[in-house]
Amino acid sequence: MSERLSDIRAHIVATRQLETVITAMRGVAAARAREAQARLEGVRAYAGALGEAIGAALSLELGEREESIASPGKPSAGHILLAFCSAQGFVGAFNERILAAVRKSLAASQNERMALYIVGERGAALAEEQGLGLAWTTAMAAHVDEAPALADRVAGALYDRISANQAGRVTLIHGAPDGGAGLTIVERQLIPFELSRFPPSRRSPPLVNLPKPALVESLAQEYVFAELCAAATLSFAAENEARMQAMIAARSNVQKSLQELEARHRRQRQAEITEEIIELVRSAPR
């Protein structure tokens, strides 16, 4: 026989084990995506409280209302493109879609001095393969609890470059779940920080012991941190939803392979039985 029955059985066992692993990975990805979505509510509440505080600070009669605040750097100093990619693999075209948005943004900013910041080892490796020069990279959060520490690390790297007058703008690109099986690419300006989106509070002005510019600057930086936390959390959720979809496709392929193996096993078993019958007939006395 060209193929032994024992080899097919071994292949079936290995394929079933692979299906079990894929199913477990899908379950883990789904649990992590749900956890990230649950944590996002707290991050948004934190950002909302900061927004109210900024509005209250802007209501202080200590000078004219500022329109934007962001950085000690000048807008002409440079432009940071910050992209959140995946920490691990098995995410389908997740990183490719993020980097496609990066390339589009880079192409639209040819007259600016660009610096590409990538969060996520898989995305950084792919960016290097595609010839995109990296100015800075760091690991993506492996668990949603690591999002605040990641946001703090990213904010520190951004403000280091801004303080050195090497950048005056920051554009943020990240993935977000779209509620279905797809992925939404979010691209927005992070810095300069636009104060015009925060209406001054109509309540009684708060008592403060800081000058208004220093207070607003501090609150704006804290809001940027909250936005980075939200981006990290959304990207983590989107990464795990992409992994979940990849595992669904992989499980479907494994099941098809398993069906083919079982059909081969039946055919091979029938062939062996037929051969045994023929041998018995040939050896029977005449």
Task: Read off the pLDDT of residues 110-166 as tens digits, 9 standing for 90 and up.
Answer: 778 899 999 999 999 999 999 998 999 999 998 898 999 999 999 999 999 998 888
- Of residues 59 and 236, more confidence is placed in 236
pLDDT in the model for residue 24:
81
pLDDT of the residue at 280: 75
Residue 252 lies inside a defined structural domain of this protein: no
CB 144 within 8 A of CB 36: yes
* Per-residue pLDDT, 173: 95
CA-to-CA distance for 261 and 256, rounded, in angstroms?
9
pLDDT in tens, 250-276: 777 777 887 888 888 888 888 778 877
> Which class for 207: exposed (0-12), middle (13-18), buried (19 or more C-beta within 10 A)?
exposed
Helices (H), 130-211: 147-163
Residue 159 lies in a domain: yes
Cα separations (Å) of 116 from 15, 82, 128, 130, 155? 42, 6, 11, 13, 14
> Mean pLDDT, to the nearest integer, of 227-235?
93
In this prediction, residue 205 carries a pLDDT of 64
Considering the domain boundaries, does residue 268 fall inside one? no
Of the pLDDT bands very low, low, confident and very high (cuts 50, 70, 90), residue 65 is very low
Residue 21 located in a structural domain = no
CATH value at residue 189: 3.40.1380.10
Cα–Cα nearest to 227, from 102, 80, 37, 44: 44
pLDDT at 79: 92
Residue 19 lies in a domain: no
Mean pLDDT of the chain: 82
**Cα 170 to Cα 190: distance, rounded to the nearest angstrom:** 5
- Give pLDDT, residue 271: 78
- Of residues 76 and 71, the one with the higher pLDDT is 76
pLDDT value at 75 more than 70: no
Is the pLDDT at 61 greater than 60? The verdict is no
Mean pLDDT throughout 163-182? 85
Residue 225: predicted pLDDT: 92
**45-59 exposure pattern, b = at least 16 Cβ within 10 A, e = fewer:** ebbeebbebbbbbbb
What integer pLDDT is reported at residue 185 of this predicted model?
A: 92
Greater pLDDT, 104 or 75 = 104
Asked whether residue 275 is assigned to any structural domain, the reply reads no
**In the structure, what pLDDT confidence band is assigned to residue 67 with cuts at 50, 70 and 90?**
very low
| Residue 142 within any structural domain of the chain | yes
Residue 239 and residue 91 in contact, taking contact as beta carbons nearer than 8 Å: yes
81 within domain boundaries: yes
Cβ neighbours of residue 244 under 8 Å, at least 6 residues apart?
Answer: 26, 29, 30, 33
Percent of the chain with pLDDT over 90: 30
pLDDT at 95: 94
Residue-number span of the structural domain to which 88 is assigned: 31-243
In tens, the pLDDT along 98-108 reads 999 999 998 88
Instruction: State the total domains in the chain.
Output: 1
Query: Which backbone phi and psi does 130 adopt, to 5 degrees?
Result: -85, 0
Other beta carbons within 10 angstroms of residue 125's beta carbon come to 14
pLDDT digit string, tens, across residues 208-222: 776 777 888 888 889
| Cβ atoms < 10 Å from Cβ of 204 | 8
Q: What is the pLDDT of residue 76?
A: 56
pLDDT of 179 reads 67
